[in-house]
């Protein structure tokens, strides 16, 4: 028979192997998330990739990503593991006290037993029906300010979140914040380039119009010559309309050619 010391050593080794396997799973998930969010600068792709990977890694009941609106009274559900079609859905924070607390404090909120937690009493029946065990709200922060949060819910018959799991999720939240910041900068740059492009197009149109008017005036007879050649008859409205049409055509051609 094995001695108590040997049994303790086996249990210790088994616990260490379990921890190493957990670390391996976390590292693989981090690599996959980095590959996915590193290959895009589109906000919607980033948040959906993070929600999907976290949901698959832990086998969650729910993994949702929320971004805060200005004023702090509402948030927007921008990605969901259980229903990827849900995006940009406005949510009242009063329905999610754990989410509101994470956004207000900038700290992770962990509820070990959702079915008995007093702060969730209005939702106890719904949570029990879905067999929800734990709820975790992890803030997504940028420069000390919570700009959103990741909400995770585990099943009652599934594994609980360990301290290592919570640390891993915080790392993912930090990566998400940086990726969203880069996406925001990219969108601002695109918008600025669009404005600059529109300004350049307007400048080209103005230059083309000025150039055309100069050509038109240079080739148009003086007032005295016009009276002699045309018998003193004024330019009719049909002639003016024709000149306007020609000006518009030339303007369009020259502005597109420059």
Concatenating the DSSP letter of every residue in 138-187 gives EEEEETTEEEEEEEEEEETTSPPP-HHHHHHHHHHHHHHHHHHHHHHHHH
How many angstroms separate the CA atoms of 79 and 88, rounded? 8
* Residue range 85-121, pLDDT digits in tens: 888 889 888 888 999 999 999 999 999 888 889 988 8
Average pLDDT over residues 46-51: 90
| Domain-located, residue 232 | no
201 domain residue, yes or no: no
Q: 155 is in which domain, residue-wise?
A: 14-180
Q: Sign of torsion, CA 92 96 100 106? A: negative
Confidence of residue 223 (pLDDT cuts 50, 70, 90): very low
Residue with tokens 């729910």: 62
Length of the chain: 258
Task: Give which of 45, 59, 75 is closest to 140, Cα–Cα.
Answer: 75
| pTM greater than the 0.85 cutoff | no
- Does the residue 40 lie in any domain? yes
> What are the phi and psi torsion angles at 60 (to 5°)?
-85, 155
- Least confident piece of the model among 200-204, 210-214, 216-220, 234-238: 234-238
Determine, yes or no, domain membership for 134.
yes
Pairing of strands 109-111, 89-92: unpaired
Q: How many domains does the chain have?
A: 1
We report the CATH number of the domain holding residue 53 as 3.30.450.40
Whether residue 108 lies inside any domain: the answer is yes
d(CA 167, CA 37): 20
Q: Which of 37-41, 86-90, 179-183, 227-231 has the lowest average pLDDT?
A: 227-231
Can you give the pLDDT at residue 211?
64
Q: How far apart are CA 134 and CA 153, in angstroms?
A: 6
Residue 1 lies in a domain: no
Mean pLDDT, rounded, for 19-46: 78
- If phi > 0 it is left, if psi is from -120 to 50 it is alpha, else beta; for residue 209 that is alpha
Q: Establish if 225 belongs to a structural domain.
A: no
Position 136 confidence tier, pLDDT thresholds 50, 70, 90:
very high
Report the range of poorest mean pLDDT among 29-33, 206-210, 225-229.
225-229
Q: Is residue 230 part of a domain?
A: no
Buried b (16+ CB within 10 A) or exposed e, 121-137: eebeeebeeeebbbbbb
């Amino acid at each position: 028979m094995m001695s108590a010391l040997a049994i303790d050593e086996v249990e210790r080794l088994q616990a260490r192997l379990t921890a190493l396997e957990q670390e391996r799973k976390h590292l693989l998930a981090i690599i996959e998330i980095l590959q996915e969010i590193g290959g895009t600068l589109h906000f919607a792709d980033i948040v959906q990739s993070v929600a999907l990977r976290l949901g698959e890694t832990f086998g969650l009941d729910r993994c949702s990503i929320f971004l805060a609106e200005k004023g702090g009274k509402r948030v927007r559900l921008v990605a969901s593991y259980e229903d990827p079609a849900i995006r940009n859905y406005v949510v009242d924070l009063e329905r999610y006290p754990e989410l509101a607390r994470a956004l207000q404090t900038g700290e992770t909120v962990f509820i070990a037993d959702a079915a008995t937690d007093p702060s969730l009493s209005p939702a106890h029946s719904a949570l029990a029906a879905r067999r929800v065990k734990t709820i975790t709200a992890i803030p997504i922060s940028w420069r000390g300010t919570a700009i959103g949060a990741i909400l995770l819910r585990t099943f009652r018959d599934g594994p609980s979140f360990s301290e290592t799991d919570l640390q891993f999720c915080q790392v993912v939240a930090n990566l998400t914040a940086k990726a969203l910041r880069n996406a925001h900068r990219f969108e601002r740059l695109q918008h600025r380039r669009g404005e600059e492009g529109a300004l350049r197009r307007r400048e080209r149109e103005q230059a083309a119009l000025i150039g055309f008017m100069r050509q038109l005036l240079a080739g148009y007879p003086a007032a005295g010559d016009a009276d002699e050649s045309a018998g003193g008859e004024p330019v009719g409205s049909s002639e003016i309309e024709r000149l306007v049409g020609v000006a518009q055509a030339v303007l369009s051609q020259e502005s597109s050619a420059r």
